A = this chain, B = another copy of it.
């Protein structure tokens, strides 16, 4: 960490700062320039609050040299993390396709979709049992029953299941779930992150609507600091001024995260855009950009389309897309070779 002091800093305050830092085990290198004095802090600065130091009267600016995350940092873990979920692996060159309905509605619905998406090439089943809804008057999901239906679909197809945990009080219901999803709105629900960090199931953390890469990785760090290293990151669009699409899908996150972290990266084009006709081109773009997998909404019954999302694909449309994505993934492997 580098601390840039103002010109002619108050000596007492400077000494007080230096003493305080030294008490925390930090070594200080001082570099005196013509107009500015710079302190180089050496040691474990991850627990130092950059804003606190920046607020001191004598400080002009503070700059981190080291990232504040350790477990999630590729610098300290050069090899890709591969998350094993039953017979499938997320990361490490595989293309994982997680597909299923936005909301679990009935056992029949979810089993039918699970069979269809498995046949098309999906390797995991996704579906919402607990639903975060903007309005208290909207359907809030089937809850525990929804998880039972997902398990029934897994029983039938062998597809591992991923579903969203909204509150730590629901955790006991998730003991048979394969991957726990933390939604975008809960990305900084720190008690929830700590809770899933204390258990062993893989955790997929969706990026908050206005979360920076660093904040997102710090949420992963919360889980990993608790002992659980099986973390997956999922981009689902960020909030910008453009409102034609629900959110703006940030595909640059793929190579950026690839550099910063060793964790696998999943892209959710369905939620990002909110429009089903945008899922195909953006899923295709995501695979070519190098993601480890996709999260795609699929619904089965056109007659009940109203209860599904605007971002959902029908099974036959998904089938064509999944085949294209798997071929493209193979094609990319050849091109990169």
A183-218: which residues lie under 8 A (CB-CB) from chain B? 185-186, 188-194, 209-210, 212-215, 218
Name the one of B60, B238, B290, B312 contacting A240, with C-beta atoms under 8 angstroms.
B238
In the complex, whether A123 has a CB less than 8 A from a CB of chain B is no
Residues in B neighbouring A161, C-beta threshold 8 A: none
CA A332 to CA B111, docked complex, whole Å: 33
Q: How far is the CA of A53 from the CA of B310 in the complex (A)?
A: 8
| Other 18 A-B pairs with CB < 8 A, given A47-B137, A55-B276, A242-B250 | A29-B31, A36-B40, A38-B38, A54-B310, A55-B309, A55-B312, A68-B137, A134-B218, A137-B225, A238-B242, A240-B240, A244-B256, A245-B256, A251-B251, A281-B289, A281-B290, A287-B288, A328-B331
Contact A138 B49 (CB under 8 A): yes
Tell me the chain A residues, 295-337 only, with Cβ under 8 Å from chain B. 303, 305-312, 324, 327-328, 331-332, 335-336
Contact residues of A with B, CB < 8 Å?
A: 2, 4, 16-17, 20, 27, 29, 31, 33-36, 38, 40, 42, 46-47, 49, 51-56, 60-61, 63, 65-66, 68, 132-138, 140, 166-169, 185-186, 188-194, 209-210, 212-215, 218, 221-222, 225-226, 238-246, 248-252, 254-256, 259, 272-278, 280-282, 284-290, 303, 305-312, 324, 327-328, 331-332, 335-336
When C-beta atoms are compared, the residue in chain B nearest to A134 turns out to be B218
> Which of B133, B222, B274, B306 is A190 in contact with, Cβ under 8 Å?
B133
In the docked arrangement, what's the CA distance between A212 and B332, Å? 32
Ranked 9 nearest A-B pairs via Cβ: A55-B310, A288-B288, A285-B289, A210-B210, A167-B191, A31-B31, A185-B188, A255-B281, A136-B225
What is the CA–CA distance of A306 and B241 in the complex, to the nearest angstrom?
28
Cα–Cα, bound, A167→B165 (Å): 14
Known contacts A210-B239, A238-B242, A275-B55, A38 near B47 by CB under 8 Å? no
B residues less than 8 Å from A274 (CB atoms): 51
Q: Which of B51, B212, B244 contacts A242 (CB 8 A)?
A: B212
